[in-house]
Chain A
Amino acid sequence: MKRRDLLVAVGGGLLLGSSLSSAAASRVSRERWISAHGGESGEFGVGWLTGGELGGTTSVGFRGHAVLQHPSRPDSAVFLPRRPGKVALEVDLLAGEVRHRFTAAEDRHFYGHGCFSVDGTVLYTTESHVSVGTGLVTVRDANTYERLEEWSSHGIGPHDLAALPDGKTLVVANGGILTRPETGRRALNLPTMRSSLCYLDAGTGLLLDEFFVAEPKASIRHLDVARDGTVAFAIQLQRDASGHDRLVPLVGVHRPGAALELFEKPAAILHQLRDYVGSVAICDQGRVAGFASPRGNLVVFYHVDSGALLGYHQLRDVCGLAVSREREAFVLSNSFGEIRELDWISLHERKHQRLRLPDFRWDNHLLVASLG
């Protein structure tokens, strides 16, 4: 795909019209806010903003999920497909062209998430070994995307993963749910599903440790890692399969050497999350973890260490959640094209910074990347 195939907004105003406040439009920024999106016509792409202005968008022909900033090419973003996609892209955001296209191997598909190693030399992606039904972590060269190795994820349905700050460890959320391309998104193993949070040696893939939540139908799907290695994770409950209607905690943290810690209170908040938390982001400043529930139209914030509820923000169908160091804010996005900022300490919204791009249905995840 070449530059001519991309729709890149020149000067940021092309697609925005009057939807941005003048304050937002005049920002000078060193960050890009990037997300997969769906369009009015059903087309899918990746879009990005800088300084409150639309920097560009490209149509990619498949629904994306997570976006990663390339470690050595910071103006490039790796765009991973939603499961069970087989094609991933590296997009040069400055040139407006696809630099690389890489695919899952035969009998494999992506699960939508990946991460680069701390030294930036390899890319890890969660994948499925389709015919066997087991989860994989595939290791690729970060420059060429050549497949180097393939490890077991030590579970079924691996979803999110991240590299720990020690540079030696990966943490993988094995959702525990088996799906197959031929049966779509239908869960095939609900009676036996088992989700886990696994720690792997980042060099060999060896299982270092694994943790399970008590509720057997709770699927750990998303995570984020604090500077000290604390992992915040988010759960989606398979309610129909659970056979009960008890409230199940959906968010929590794991500290190295400790047991999983679930945030169970207050019950009213738990109820409001509607059994579904779709993304998580940690702000190291203040040790705050945010968790977004699109079904609950709610983002909740807990203190990573005390587990205390610090605040919440209601936004319809919110799922995109990231931390902007430049704006000192949590940034939220939703499928109605809205973007909001919450001060990362007070958690109060900066209402004058609201953005709305109705043509952009921001998908589940939002990336805040520093400009190269």
Chain B
Amino acid sequence: MAAARSWFATVVRRCAPACFVLLSSCSDNNGITPLEPPVLVETGPPPVTLTEEEALRAAFEESVDEAIVPSVQDFAQEATATVVSAQDFCGQVDEAGLRELQERWRSLFSRWYRLVPYNFGPLNDDIIFPNFTFIDSLRLRGTDYLETVRGEIARDISGDRELTEDYFARKTFNRVGLLALEATVFETSTAEHSQAATDILAEFDARPRKCRVLIGLARQIEERAQTIASGWLEEFQDTESAYRDLFLQAELEDGTEPISQLLIAVQEYLDYLQARRVVTTAAPLSGIAWDAVAASMDEVELLLRGVNSESNSFFDAMIASGNQNAVDGVEDSIDQIRRAIADRDPDMLEITLGFLDGNFKREIPDSLGIELGINFSDGD
């Protein structure tokens, strides 16, 4: 994807911090070190100063190609790896395979939490049946569907219906996705819902249909992940264009300005994390909700700070427009969230997520000169 980056992102960089090096030569002349004029040696191209508008554009382009697109690709790759892992496990049901499968699920879940802050475009492609709900049913409204997927899995394992790919494709969003896969991999389908590895392995051994369920659910996630990836990078719906290109060229169907879309999506995600207390409801069997939220914060920080110090980042654009204080405020919010995660403190996490949520509503768009709309929040 790096090759696809525009000239702007590749050519224009922040001011090179040290274009010129001041050298002074010294020589020993009878113990006397004569003063000589300094020599200026040019060591790189002259500094390039971006206008505020250019800085914002460069930051936006890099955010797409160095944050969003890699998240899309990583999730798709992990989804495919999960299918392979499931197939391998079902080929030889043993404890090592189960551990590998469970670890793969954890990795997939974390990858999702790096992608789901960008819940627009191919993720949120349909107003009634959007892709994201089939991967993460919790994200829709914070409803916990654990008992729903447990019942569905138990019926599928004990029933006699042919478990075809089409069967899994027709399931409603609250019966599939990461939660259903988690319930398949981390517990038995019996009433006890044992999480002991020996019990889980015994069930896979005794009930071959459970492997069909496992692979069927994993494939559905892979299918959605590939749809999202191809929407971002190949063609989105019937536009004959990749969503990446539409997004960068500001040609979104609903007329939304892409940067506004991006900021609003992240803000809504932060709102979701706090309002639904995701750390207490997500990943109920694997226990990695905190790690997943930490992964989301890694992603948000990457989005704002850029991939490295050479990046053109949103923070740079905010500083370029004279808003260092706003950057400091956002960094402080992120630090506080990090502390809450480290302390495993859900109350403090909720409070600090609210701070960053507010930053995305006010300080960040204000610093970047982005208008979110006059009707957007003022109600009448």
A residues whose Cβ falls under 8 Å from a Cβ of B: 38, 65, 82-83, 112, 159, 185, 221, 236, 245, 247, 266, 268-269, 271-272, 276, 278, 294-295, 297-298, 312, 314-317, 319, 334-336, 338, 361, 363-364
Contacts and interface: CB of A to CB of B under 8 A. Distances in A.
B11 interface: no
A65 B380 contact: yes
A335 B374 contact: yes
Which of B142, B376, B377 has the most chain A CB within a 10 Å cutoff?
B376
Contacts of B255: 315-316, 334, 336, 338
Given A315-B255, A334-B255, A112 B380 contact: yes
Interface in B121-164: 127-129, 140-142
B140 A271 contact: yes
A335 B376 contact: yes
B38 interface: no
Nearest to A320: B375
A104 to B, nearest CB: 17
B198 interface: no
Contacts of A268: 127-129, 140
Contact of A278 (B128, B254, B371, B380): B380
B253 A314 contact: yes
B379 interface: yes
Contact of A316 (B127, B129, B256): B256
Given A298-B127, A363-B374, 15 more contacts: A65-B380, A82-B380, A159-B380, A245-B142, A268-B129, A269-B127, A278-B380, A294-B376, A315-B255, A316-B255, A319-B375, A334-B255, A335-B374, A336-B255, A336-B373
Interface in B335-380: 371-380
Contacts of A295: 376-377
B260 interface: yes
Nearest to B126: A268
Contacts of A221: 380
B375 A316 contact: no
Interface in B246-283: 253-257, 260, 275
A334 B373 contact: yes
Nearest to B373: A317
A310 to B, nearest CB: 13
B81 to A, nearest CB: 31
Contacts of B374: 38, 317, 335, 361, 363
A218 B128 CA distance: 24
Given A247-B141, A269-B128, A276 B379 contact: yes
Nearest to B372: A317
Question: Main SS of chain A's interface residues?
Answer: mixed
A276 B127 CA distance: 16
Contacts of B128: 266, 268-269
Given A314-B253, A338-B255, A364 B375 contact: yes
Contact of A363 (B129, B140, B375): B375
B313 to A, nearest CB: 25
Nearest to B252: A316
Which of A269, A336, A363 has the most chain B CB within a 10 Å cutoff?
A336
Nearest to A40: B371
A340 to B, nearest CB: 8
Contacts of B141: 245, 247, 271
A316 B142 contact: no
Closest A-B pairs by Cβ, 6 of them: A317-B373, A294-B375, A314-B254, A316-B256, A335-B374, A335-B373
B142 A315 contact: no
8 contacts: A82-B380, A247-B141, A268-B128, A297-B256, A298-B127, A315-B254, A317-B375, A335-B374
A335 B257 CA distance: 12
Nearest to B374: A335
A185 B379 contact: yes
B347 to A, nearest CB: 18
Nearest to B377: A295
Interface in B94-140: 127-129, 140
Nearest to B133: A268
B125 to A, nearest CB: 11
Contacts of B378: 185
A316 B261 CA distance: 9
Interface in B169-200: none
Contacts of B373: 294, 316-317, 334-336, 361
B129 to A, nearest CB: 7
B137 to A, nearest CB: 12
A314 B374 CA distance: 17
Which of B128, B141, B373 has the most chain A CB within a 10 Å cutoff?
B373
Contacts of A298: 127
Nearest to B140: A271
B127 A314 contact: yes
A22 B16 CA distance: 47
Contacts of A334: 255, 373, 375
A364 B127 contact: no
Contacts of A361: 373-374
Given A269-B127, A272-B127, A298-B127, A364 B256 contact: no
A319 B380 CA distance: 11
Contacts of A294: 373, 375-376
